[in-house]
Structure 1
Amino acid sequence: MKDKKWIDCPSCGEVNSMVFKSDVSENYFVKDYGTIKINNLEGYFCKGCKDGIFTRKSQNHINSAIAEFKAKKDAEVTVAADLISVDEMAKKLKLTRQSIHKMMNIGKIRYVFVGDIRLPLKNQKLSHK
């Protein structure tokens, strides 16, 4: 699906106020985890109210960066008994391994890093973002 080209601001209603910007950085506060700065974002921003709308690519980048940030923090406090392999999670959810990896990438399945390997958390409710 193609991103919409924004012209008028959907927040303040100002006409012809939206400007495309790239290489934008944004700080995000993640409840119970802290703050993360995410770079290389792009989207349309209002010249008047300064509100903005990120492109779909940038929104996916944000979701992925936040999921990875949480995974690294969770890895410090998660015990091995709370983990499951990607194959086992795929069987449990009746999905492919690729689907599990994709869902971890976008933050729908929580995971932690064990070394450089990502492992899903065994008991979790799937996030409906």
Structure 2
Amino acid sequence: MNENKGLLETIKCNECDSLMRKSMIDYKEEYDSEIISINNVEGYLCHKCGNQIPTEESIKYINDLIHLEKVKIKAEKLKKQEYILVNNLSNIRQGIGLSQKDLANFLDSAEQRLGVIERNTNTPTIIVEHLIASFLGVKTDDLYEMVFISPELYNKLLNIELIDHGNGNYKFKHVPTIAKVREEIWEKREELKNSNAQKIRLRNMIKTEKIDRDEGLAQIEALDSKIEEIKKIKDDKKNGLEKRLKKLEGKHSMIIKQERVIDKDTWEKVITSFSEYF
């Protein structure tokens, strides 16, 4: 009886054909250039070649932990890096021989609306994205791929236009006027963020009586005036910085739209032209 139990607790090694015995193992998996380790799980160990295989019972437990670790890795990358969405919709659509009109008819939408999605001046809602993926027979991740890059490269790409002469002859060109306006916008965004955070602190100080109420309200009123002035400089419909940036971007073939989206073909050119960042 004990002999049969011992046999049941062994399997054949898929690496060297030796017998693997049940043991506590350390499971490892590579993800995004990092090693995820799940230690002390039940599995089989080959003492000859060192191969380790988790038991069927351990696999679900491992998969749950692996998923959690992958989420943590992505979160850490978001903190340290910038992300870009690579739009592959146009390539997928053309690859199966569909026109924009064909796809727009399926979506019961104007062809113009699909055009702005493919040109990256607009992004689809989650519902529309799933409808497009379903019609094209792909996954939503195939339409938009999220890639992580260094802040240095991200800031560089934001202010670059693509000059394409055709036949594989192209070049990237930095646009200093756009870079200057964008930097001013970022400064105003930071001022808004800090001013709003200061308002929250003042309200809490008033509530906890750490500051005189009238003094606190006076400071909040001053901050409100400052915030309105910043918004006017940044968002004014005629002469605001955001409006100025849109006009400048309209004059150039900027490779990144909406500060986050780039088309697949251009992204491949970026990888080739800025290989030192990858």
Pairwise same-fold verdict (TM > 0.5):
no
Which structure has the highest strand share of the two?
1
The alignment's TM-score, normalised by the length of structure 1, stands at: 0.45
Higher helix share: 2
TM-score, normalised to structure 2's length? 0.24
